[in-house]
Amino acid sequence: MTATRVLVLNSGSSSLKYQLLDMARPSPTTLTGAATPRSDTDSSRLASGIVERIGEAGGVADHSAALKQVADELSSQSLGLDSPELAAVGHRVVHGGTRFTEPTLITDEVVSEIEKLVPLAPLHNPANVTGIKVARELRPDLPQVAVFDTAFHSGMPEAAARYAIDRATADRYGVRRYGFHGTSHAYVSRATAALLGKEPSEVNVIVLHLGNGASASAVRGGVCVDTSMGLTPLEGLVMGTRSGDIDPAVVFHLARVAGLGVDDIDDLLNKRSGLVGLCGDNDMREIGRRIAEDDADAQLAFDVYVHRLRKYVGAYSAVLGRVDAIAFTAGVGENSAAVREAALIGLEPLGIEIDAVRNAVRGSAARLVSTRTSRVAVAVVPTDEELEIAQQAYSLVRP
């Protein structure tokens, strides 16, 4: 029997998503070719699930406990990690630094390199390492593949990847823009091309990945040329709990005037800022409910979020010159018609015409929400980081 199944572990800062896929069965997308949107009826997906609120009240204690829960759920469906049909485990790893720009077979040395990158992604890489260690303990014989969030952005031009700071200091300490959510930006930019009936090489796309973490990217002909996250996943858009762009002098000011330490400021900007910092809620659904009741704090949070998003749409329109499509993805991008409309309304001079009626229709498939006359196609394109990771992992181990 040939082993053709891949288990994918996608550890976020407070969640663990998993999927078990059979790569021998038809899947609607291919690694390099055209992609069509994925539905729940795909025969390739054997199991999937999510453990949420890790480390929070009402959730499991930590990522080890979450993994144990996933292993138990799979075993109860006779799909456990002990299955001889497993070909590999694919792990999402958020930060790959400058070294990891391709899917990588995991060895002890690779694990220790990923651990060295923890200071650059303190909310994410530790969880990724835990997942790798637990899975390797359970199945030491099985190939385990790391797929990096940073990889898709690793070819960004120097003009976009460099910060304008002293070069020697930057080079010595690896201070440059890496970018994240790369598997999602790669998958969604390809799926957007497919939705337009084009090859990825033919289209320029702005991808707006709006989840709890959020980032924008400018993709020219299938290649990422700029993205909003930088050295860490803190730069760029306003997020659920992260500030995104601020004047770096805010940090000095808070240290000198408010007497805050570096760790306090790190915690403030990563965990107590963004939507939650502005209005106390980080879930866009709750913010929508509060706005409907005329809550001024929720309205302000929404307005700041959308203003930043519009700025990036404008910036990346200029970076790309010609924009063929803008694609909204991840939890907020796929579900919040209000965010999509507020971000793009009034941008007709840029050739962007969102259609309020089409935009308001709910759906789970990739779809266009622009007017028929819009020069720039506006699309909602569900992301599938797990499928992308599975395909990249399988490409390394397939017989």
213: contact with ligand ADP by CB under 6 A: yes
Q: Answer yes or no: is 332 a known binding residue.
A: yes
CB of 362 to ligand ADP, least distance (A): 8
> Per CB under 6 A, which region of 53-61, 73-81, 276-284, 308-316 contacts ligand ADP?
276-284
Alpha helices in the chain (DSSP H): 63-76, 108-116, 125-138, 158-161, 167-173, 182-195, 249-256, 262-271, 274-279, 284-292, 296-320, 330-335, 337-344, 356-360, 385-397
CB of 275 to ligand ADP, least distance (A): 8
103: contact with Mg ion by CB under 5 A: no
Catalytically active residues are 149
Which is nearer to ligand ADP, 86 or 309 (by Cβ)? 309
Question: Which of residues 90, 211, 222, 233 is near Mg ion by CB under 5 A?
Answer: 211
Residue type, 292: A
- Work out whether strand 377-380 and strand 325-329 pair parallel, antiparallel, or are unpaired: parallel
280: contact with ligand ADP by CB under 6 A: no
List interacting residues with ligand UVW (CB under 6 A).
12-13, 94, 124, 149, 180-181, 211-213, 233
Residue type, 111: V
CB of 210 to ligand UVW, least distance (A): 9
**CB-based contacts of 36: which residues, under 8 Å, 6+ apart?**
28, 29, 191, 194, 366
> Per CB under 6 A, which region of 37-45, 140-148, 209-217, 228-236 contacts ligand ADP?
209-217
Q: Answer yes or no: is 1 a known binding residue.
A: no
The CA–CA distances, whole Å, from 222 to 132, 152, 192, 330, 349 equal 30, 10, 10, 19, 26
Q: How many residues does the chain have?
A: 399
Partner in contact with 240, chosen from Mg ion, ligand UVW, ligand ADP, none, beta carbon below 5 to 8 Å by kind: ligand ADP
Q: Answer yes or no: is 285 a known binding residue.
A: yes
344: contact with ligand ADP by CB under 6 A: no
- Given a contact cutoff of 8 angstroms between Cβ atoms, the answer to whether 211 and 217 are in contact is no
Pairwise CA distance, residues 102 & 349, whole Å: 39
212: contact with ligand ADP by CB under 6 A: yes
- Given a contact cutoff of 8 angstroms between Cβ atoms, the answer to whether 308 and 215 are in contact is no
211: contact with ligand ADP by CB under 6 A: yes
CB of 38 to Mg ion, least distance (A): 16
- What mask, x for binding ligand ADP by CB under 6 A, covers residues 12 to 31? x--x----------------
131: contact with Mg ion by CB under 5 A: no
Give the residue from 366, 328, 377, 382 showing the smallest Cα distance to 210.
Answer: 328
Which is nearer to ligand ADP, 22 or 334 (by Cβ)? 334
Burial of residue 1, with CB atoms counted within 10 A of its CB: 0-12 exposed, 13-18 middle, 19 or more buried: exposed
Partner in contact with 336, chosen from ligand UVW, ligand ADP, Mg ion, none, beta carbon below 5 to 8 Å by kind: ligand ADP
Judged by CB under 6 A, the number of residues near ligand ADP is 15
CB of 229 to ligand UVW, least distance (A): 7
Q: Answer yes or no: is 210 a known binding residue.
A: yes
Residue owning tokens 């229709």? 361
Which is nearer to ligand ADP, 130 or 212 (by Cβ)? 212
**CB-based contacts of 99: which residues, under 8 Å, 6+ apart?**
113
Neighbours of 81 (CB within 10 A): 18
Q: What totals of helices (H) and strands (E) does the chain contain, helices first? A: 15, 12
> Per CB under 6 A, which region of 104-112, 169-177, 210-218, 341-349 contacts ligand ADP?
210-218
> Per CB under 6 A, which region of 84-92, 156-164, 224-232, 325-333 contacts ligand ADP?
325-333
Residue owning tokens 């240290």? 255
Question: Which of residues 16, 81, 203, 284 is near ligand ADP by CB under 6 A?
Answer: 284
Residue type, 257: V
> Applying CB under 6 A, which residues contact ligand ADP?
12, 15, 211-213, 240, 282-285, 330-332, 335-336
Binding residues for substrate, by number, are: 92
